[in-house]
Structure 1
Amino acid sequence: MYGVVVALSSSKPDYTIPSNSKLVEEWTYANKVCRHTLLNALSNYLFDVYCSYKEAKDIWDSLILKYIAEDVVRQRFVIGNYYHWEMIEDKDIKTQINEYHKLLEDIKAENILLPDEFVSELLIEKLSPSWTDYKQHLKHMHKQMSLPELITRIIIEDTNRKEFATATAKGLSAKANMVVDSDAARHICANISAFTFYTSVGDGKEYVYLGDSRTTPVLGKGKVLLKFTSGKILALSDVLHVPSIRVNLISVALLGKSLCMREKEHSSASNTTIAMESSGYFAAKLKKQNDNVSSGSVY
């Protein structure tokens, strides 16, 4: 289209001026070539829109305005996704890091360049609330980490947390009469005396579903404390009180999310600390312990 692209930027010369006759002839030819080329390249829908346009310049200007506006909207959408993205507790850390990489690729595709330091520091800020202490640790490091280095540290920390939660759960299971399973959604306790804080649930308002399709009512919920031989206390919140459960159970998934250790408080109110040597609590998969206990999952 060399020699005719002038029709994309110039309107038809004034044909009433005799000296413009040559220019009008050249423009008319250029406009014809450009107009037909543009219309042939359009989809059927856009062809119907622009076929009535007589000048190639009008078609060209309209298309530029349309698609530049769409580019701006797309950029705003991509930036918004990147800004509002947060890491959440219930999702695999590697999956979320892959999501972050995808957002960065979308940013780059829009020709938006972000400094490496900014990309790394923002990922630290996006860590979920249970990572607050580790976030502070990363922020106080003197060395500026690249994104790959930061991701490696985060994955190692996540692996260590999972191993610690599993080991802790196994230790609790050995010490107390519990069943541990990573498939369970809730902690359940059969013994109301184990609760240090308790709220009743209205009759018939809440149930748990067992693996054999039976349901059993929840009478209340609250906090239960597990005592370790080291003297430390593990506090489990939102524990369901289900008297009909014959085996007290613990959810590894919830334990990994809400694990919080605190030192035993030496006070006269020692009866608020529950020793777990002879009784256990919490929700998980009902394993077959004896003839009186059903097997299946609690949901």
Structure 2
Amino acid sequence: MILHDLHAEGMKLSKSFQVATMIEKLPPLWKDFKNYLKHKRKEMGLEDLIVRLRIEEDNRLSEMKFGKLQIEAKANLMEQNGNTKRKRVDYKPIKGRAKMIKGNCYNCGKPNHMAKDCRLPKKNQAHVSEVRCVPIDLGELNLSTVVFEASLVDNPREWWIDTDATRHICSDKEMFSTYTPINGRKLFMGNSATSNIVGLVNVVLKMTSGKELTLIDVLHVPDIHKNLVFGSQLVKSGFRLVFESNKFVLTKNNHFIGK
């Protein structure tokens, strides 16, 4: 925030100083990568550093996801080995297995089962669409990088598609459908400025078609005046983004969602 205030006062800082400041702001669990960057900082510009940080964050997310898959595979293997000792094959649901499912069903909202196993009629997905992010341990990752222009004053209820952002970001409390407070997390911006992340929220967007788009795990950053949609996350969730004639069109499975 000090760098941001200095920039606002018109004071210019050297690129090397900005790079060193961003490196020092990295979280404790990034210690090894932080030491690596310290040896390379004389060779790096600010843009090079941001690219390296994004690549490192993507790698850490991939490792977390791969580790989770390995744990699930081992659990399934142990369960299968235990079942081979039985004389009789029982295809009925195991009561204890429901305890392994965290969270509620996305179809009916009730716990202890997944949406694909829900007995209630499926919701009309043409009217309700959800974008789910890969679960992130915010104690492990408190790094998100966005362009500095996002801090410029703008309409707080407008949303901007940003393919370079690393998370969905929102500042308008009136748009939140759920809210989980967060302390001690920072948002890093392209000009070395930082902003506080104070909450993790869900946001329901009303599309021009009348349909709703729910953004999951959106970062609440009060200092940001442009709400950002993480475009790459939409693509990963099966949405198709089309930019033409100064318009943005969103579809999924050949169904028009909105523009």
- TM-score normalised by L of structure 1: 0.29
Tell which has more relative contact order, 1 or 2 (C-alpha 8 A, sep 6+). 2
- TM-score normalised by L of structure 2: 0.32
Could you say which structure has the higher helix fraction? 1
Q: Which of the pair has more CA radius of gyration?
A: 1
